[in-house]
Amino acid sequence: NDGYKLWLDYQPISDSQLKSQVEPLLGGVYFFGENPTYEAIRKELNLASKSMLAKAPVYTKERLQNTKLWIGTREQLSQVLSLDQQAQIKALGNDGYWRGTLELDGKSFYAIVGNQPVGVLYGVYNWLNSIQSNTFDSSTELSDSPKIKLRMLNHWDNLDRTVERGYAGFSIWDWHKLPGYVDPRYIDYARANASIGINAVSLTNVNANALILTTDFMKKVKVLADVFRPYGIKVFLTARFSAPIQLDGLKTADPLDPEVIAFWKKKTDEIYSFIPDFGGFLVKANSEGQPGPHEYGRNHAEGANMLAEALAPHNGVLIWRAFVYSHEDEVDRHMQANNEFEPLDGKFQENVIIQIKNGAIDFQPREPVHPLYGAINKTNVGMEFQITQEYLGQATQLVYLAPMWEEVLKTKIYRPTPESTVASLLEGEGTGQKLTLIAGVSNIGTDRNWTGHLFAQSNWYAFGRQAWDPSLESKQIADEWIKLTFGTNPEVLTKIEDIMLSSHEAAVDYMTPLGLHHIMGRSHHYGPGPWVMGGRADWTAPYYHNADSLGIGFDRTTEGSGALGQYAPEVAKAWSDPNQIPEKYLLWFHHVPWDFKLKNGNTLWEGIAYHYDQGVKEVRKMQETWASLESEIDPAEFDHVRQLLEVQEEEAEWWRNACLLYFKTFSKRPFPADIEQPEGDLEYYKSLQFPNAPGI
């Protein structure tokens, strides 16, 4: 098994009871109508049936005769659904589905019903998943609908097929061969996304190239949009703010300039002439050197609204990123987004969404929630998670990210209501926000298994599931993925679940425990670099850890940068006290003396050392658990993961040794005697170079 089929590998059904339920259904399938999405469903059923039952499904022409499985929309099935059932299904909205048994003329039919064809598609995938994981029971009714409208992948793919922060090969968009050649991978990509409810993709890097907006490229993008449409997926593009200058030779990209406004309107109309359901633009502006409205003395709202107006007649959406910071601004980087966006709250058009990273710095191994959540409540806000593991071991380390995302989504933010959490805010509770979004920076590429590390597939899967329903538990999602990937053996399930659920905390322990952050290698971000100095201060490590002879950490209390003041008073108050703040965020907000007493009685210095050591131990535990599964796992998959876990152990030791040796030069205290003593020479670790590290 090379991992290409992801969680859709449709293993032969061995359980005879399950088989006796499924076989008759696939032996008499009736579609209430025809459309491209039903065609996609038919292809999926063909694939699944041949693989699970070694035979093709039988499609009937008549809804009663020889039919067992009904597939259609609520309207199409209205004659066979009771009024109550119709009302129940209608309430599930466009993307929702219901599946269960219906009776007609004394006969039973299993039905998969949505309000729209795409809901039917989601219902079919859910049904197939239940078969694969052996949880299907035709006597149980089931319905589901997403809590978030836009469930979106952000590809950071360049037009030359390199991928910014990509660790799984090159971009799967083969721009050179498009539009003539449609790689079958595009269809498998769409299937995988649809199977977990992802319904939007932005194809290109946020560090954008204006060429994507030329007519030649539009023809290529159109082909992708056509492939994705039956799977319910809309295409977005990143828009380079200076495109009017680059493409049409205008003298300015000032968002208030009539020629600039006309440029974007014409460009946008042209895109819609190729792609009538084009999703809209995603924009990174005035951040890390990207052009934006500030060059012309305009603010983010003026920039975003100009593009939003070009999109509005077509029902397009403008997604504007809040990841803005500048090294010329002397203010703590943590605070800059709030400083810019809070005064603009309520000034954005209705079809604008502000896309905010989960934390205020940058996808660190663990971040406290971004203070912009809850601080702006008259503007649509959406989440940006990072699925690609830029700061979390890239493609060599097994780190299951769902627990981290769950932690963020469940965080209480107390605004706009005392009960608000990040998840409730994203769902529009308390603000009435209708346009809702969870985006994830994609981790896929041309590697045969899509994501480089087999377990990185679980992050793609989990992202889709949490974007669909932010209240899902990471444990439940892990269970689903394990069953779909490795089968239903209970021993395999518990052991792999242990590995996955401990993996994120382990990585935080050996990389950045107790709230440390931004101490990774320069530019490639691979491995430790707490000593990284030089260049702009906000890209160095000491800017963040501030280690000195007294202690370590970033003081963001009122005595320090004051960033805590950007949170709701409930949060700011609790977190301002080093004895009350959850220890996992301690050094994020406080500069703490080396001998500060932690909750378990250790000094801070001892605690740092124990955490780093614990991280390494956890990886070794993961290795042992994996080794014990050898006889249960496909040999190729087993060996792939075994080798990568060995690399991960070395990398965990490297992080621990490098960081502890470095911080010891400030703490001047011995390591606790009962940890594995960090060995090696700090100068050696500092001298390591990685010119071929991927994805810069």
On whether the CB atoms of residues 124 and 172 are closer than 8 A, the answer is no
Q: Please identify the residue of the shown chain whose CB is closest to the bound ligand BDP.
A: 362
Q: How far is the CB of 667 from ligand BDP (least distance, A)?
A: 29
Which residues, numbered 659-688, are part of the site for ligand BDP (CB under 6 A)?
none
Q: Pick from 332, 367, 390, 613: which binds ligand BDP (CB under 6 A)? A: 390
Q: Which residue in the list 9, 164, 342, 362 is annotated as catalytic?
A: 362
From edge to edge, which strands make up the β-sheet containing 107-114?
A: 29-31, 69-73, 107-114, 97-104, 142-144
Which residues, numbered 93-152, are part of the site for ligand BDP (CB under 6 A)?
none
- 367 given a catalytic annotation: no
Q: Pick from 23, 144, 164, 329: which binds ligand BDP (CB under 6 A)? A: 164
Q: Pick from 284, 334, 524, 556: which binds ligand BDP (CB under 6 A)? A: 284
Which residues, numbered 343-362, are part of the site for ligand BDP (CB under 6 A)?
362
Q: Rule CB under 6 A: say whether 363 interacts with ligand BDP.
A: yes
Which residues, numbered 165-194, are part of the site for ligand BDP (CB under 6 A)?
165
Q: Give whichever of 165 and 556 is closer to ligand BDP, judged by the CB atom.
A: 165
Q: How far is the CB of 230 from ligand BDP (least distance, A)?
A: 31
Q: How far is the CB of 386 from ligand BDP (least distance, A)?
A: 7
- 637 given a catalytic annotation: no
Tell me the helices (H) and strands (E) count for the chain, helix number first: 21, 15
Q: How far is the CB of 288 from ligand BDP (least distance, A)?
A: 6
Q: Give whichever of 288 and 649 is closer to ligand BDP, judged by the CB atom.
A: 288
Q: Give whichever of 399 and 547 is closer to ligand BDP, judged by the CB atom.
A: 399
- 362 given a catalytic annotation: yes
CA distance 658 to 182: 47
Q: Which residue in the list 332, 340, 390, 606 is annotated as catalytic?
A: 390
Instruction: State whether residue 70 is helix, strand or coil.
Output: strand
Q: Are strands 142-144 and 97-104 parallel, antiparallel or unpaired?
A: antiparallel
Nearest to residue 469, comparing CAs of 145, 200, 233, 199?
A: 145
Q: Give whichever of 285 and 571 is closer to ligand BDP, judged by the CB atom.
A: 285
For CA atoms 70, 76, 82, 84, give the dihedral sign. positive
Q: Pick from 8, 153, 196, 206: which binds ligand BDP (CB under 6 A)? A: 206
Q: Give whichever of 264 and 363 is closer to ligand BDP, judged by the CB atom.
A: 363
∠ CA 478-479-482, nearest 5°, is: 80
Instruction: Give the x-and-dash track for 508-547 against ligand BDP (CB under 6 A).
Output: ----------------------------------------
Q: Pick from 7, 228, 236, 323: which binds ligand BDP (CB under 6 A)? A: 323
- Omega of the bond prior to 416 within 30 degrees of 0, cis? yes
Name 535's Cβ contacts closer than 8 Å, sequence gap at least 6: none
Q: Pick from 88, 207, 214, 339: which binds ligand BDP (CB under 6 A)? A: 207
∠ CA 361-362-364, nearest 5°, is: 100
Q: Give whichever of 250 and 696 is closer to ligand BDP, judged by the CB atom.
A: 696
On whether the CB atoms of residues 627 and 641 are closer than 8 A, the answer is no
Q: Give whichever of 132 and 386 is closer to ligand BDP, judged by the CB atom.
A: 386
Q: What is the 3-state secondary structure (H, E, C) of 353-421?
A: EEEEECCCCCCCCCCCCCCCCCCCCCCEEEEEEECCCCCCCCCCCCCCCHHHHHHHHHCECCCCCCCCE
On whether the CB atoms of residues 661 and 669 are closer than 8 A, the answer is no
Interacting residue ranges for ligand BDP, rule: CB under 6 A: 164-165, 206-207, 284, 288, 323, 362-363, 390
Active site residues: 288, 362, 390
